[in-house]
Amino acid sequence: MMYPFLQIDGDTEIVHSEMLQNGEVKVYIEKPDAQDGFHHAYCFLPSYRWEDIQGFTADEIARYQQVIESTAHPILEFSRQGGFEHASGL
């Protein structure tokens, strides 16, 4: 299951998975593109391992890396609790 987390730059969506059995969380970034349909990439926490990067430049990935690094703690917490909507204490 994927949970909505953040929308940046007006049309770029960041969602995350629940905590996977191996302790990782998959963070998915998707941005619509008029020519290609969608650009997308996966980043796995806590290692910040990137996979399946399609359409994003190295500069864009570096920026998304900064965003994910600055929000990794809440993403990991939300992944354990069923997403932002189910997080206790918020």
Tens digit of each residue's pLDDT, the chain (90 residues): 888 999 998 899 999 999 999 999 999 999 999 998 999 999 999 999 999 999 999 999 999 999 999 999 999 988 887 665 654 454
Tokens of 59: 């500069």
Provide the residue range defining the domain that includes 37: 2-86
Number of domains making up the chain = 1
Centre a 10 Å sphere on the Cβ of residue 89 and count the other Cβ atoms it contains.
5
CA–CA separation, 19 and 79 (whole Å) = 5
Task: Tell me what pLDDT residue 84 has.
Answer: 57
Centre a 10 Å sphere on the Cβ of residue 86 and count the other Cβ atoms it contains.
11
pTM for the complete prediction?
Answer: 0.86
